[in-house]
Amino acid sequence: MNNKKNIFEYIGKQSYKDAIEGIDKAYLAEPYRKYYLYLKGYCFSRLGNYFRTISLCKQALECGVESEAEECYLLIGQSYEYMDWFEEAEDNYLLGLKLNPNNSEIKAAYAYLLLKSGYTYSAYSFILEALRADPDNTLVNHYVVYFYLHSASSNFERYKLIKSFVDNSSNEILKLVKAGKSDAERQRHSVAMRKFEKAYLLDPDNESIADYLDELRLRVKLIYKPLVLFDILGSWGRWGKVLGALAFITLLIQIIQKDSMLNIMLILTLVLWAFIGAYKYFIHSFYWKFYSWK
């Protein structure tokens, strides 16, 4: 009993290797409890070993695990999805829903897979079904963030339902994400960044929060601070503008490393504007290039 308690304490502390050691000991003592296979698979998924996760969960299913079968299919599906094996992920989500069509967590995970695969309408159908069935579920809310931050169109009727849910939610993560997104839309990126950092601490596995946070950090690093410097250099006359252009070129090297799709013609145009003294256009073009990111 004490060993089982230790296992969950290790998982709670994200000490997954220690948890696996405890699971191995527990499984040796109780080999008839196939739940340990699922639990070990979960720990390996947290460590990024998705092949091991899939193997353990399939083993648990083959051994006839019943009460955790839905969780096994969910974890297998998520593992395949993390590896970008979308067809295999979909197969397992559907197997889980076949066992229990009302499983809101599998519905939410499947909704996100559909969204990434381009099936927007179906994706929203599944996430809204999951929300109506279990609005306080942690994993469901985890996936709601994706839909809230990366909607194809804010005028999309079903997105409005997601937004309405987030607006009225008491979930701490959703409240931080909502406030942070609002600050970002009002161009208060430093404030938004701090709110997303808090949200990330509460849900470090949320790729959407992590991506949005990275974008905010890049904007703060490559827009606000440089623009203050460029504004000062611009007041020094022609040589200040030349120095500003050189500093800008240095920044472009960083940007290109992070954004390989950056238009090279835009780079050349901005550099030319800086050198010939069209400082106002240089600043504005650089500024709005980044604000056009979505």
Better-predicted residue by pLDDT, 97 or 291: 97
Q: How many CB atoms lie within 10 A of CB 119?
A: 14
CA–centroid distance for 12 within its chain: 21
- Enclosing H/E stretch for 185: helix 172-185
Q: How confident is the model over 149-181, as pLDDT tens digits?
A: 876 555 567 788 888 888 888 889 889 998 988
What is the domain-level CATH number for residue 67? 1.25.40.10
Is residue 130 assigned to a domain? no
Arithmetic mean of pLDDT, 219-247: 59
Say whether pTM exceeds 0.85. Answer: no
Domain final position from 60, 82, 101: 101
Is residue 10 assigned to a domain? yes
Q: What is the CA radius of gyration of the chain?
A: 24
Domain final position from 82, 101, 120: 101
Q: How many domains does the chain have?
A: 2
Is residue 239 assigned to a domain? yes
Is residue 62 assigned to a domain? yes
Asked if the model's pLDDT at residue 116 lies above 50, the reply is yes
Is residue 212 assigned to a domain? no
User: What span, in angstroms and rounded, lies between the C-alpha atoms of 113 and 271?
Assistant: 41
Structural domain of 24: 1-101
Domain final position from 101, 129, 157: 101
The region that residue 14 occupies, defined by phi over 0 for left and psi between -120 and 50 for alpha, beta otherwise, is left
3-state class of 100 per DSSP? Answer: coil
Is residue 192 assigned to a domain? no
User: What span, in angstroms and rounded, lies between the C-alpha atoms of 114 and 71?
Assistant: 19
| The pair of three-digit structure tokens given for residue 140, joined into one six-digit string | 């469901």
Q: How confident is the model over 264-273, as pLDDT tens digits?
A: 555 555 556 5
The top-scoring range by mean pLDDT among 5-14, 27-36, 139-148, 215-224 is 139-148
Is residue 216 assigned to a domain? no
Is residue 207 assigned to a domain? no
Q: How confident is the model over 15-55, as pLDDT tens digits?
A: 889 989 988 888 888 877 888 899 999 999 989 899 999 99
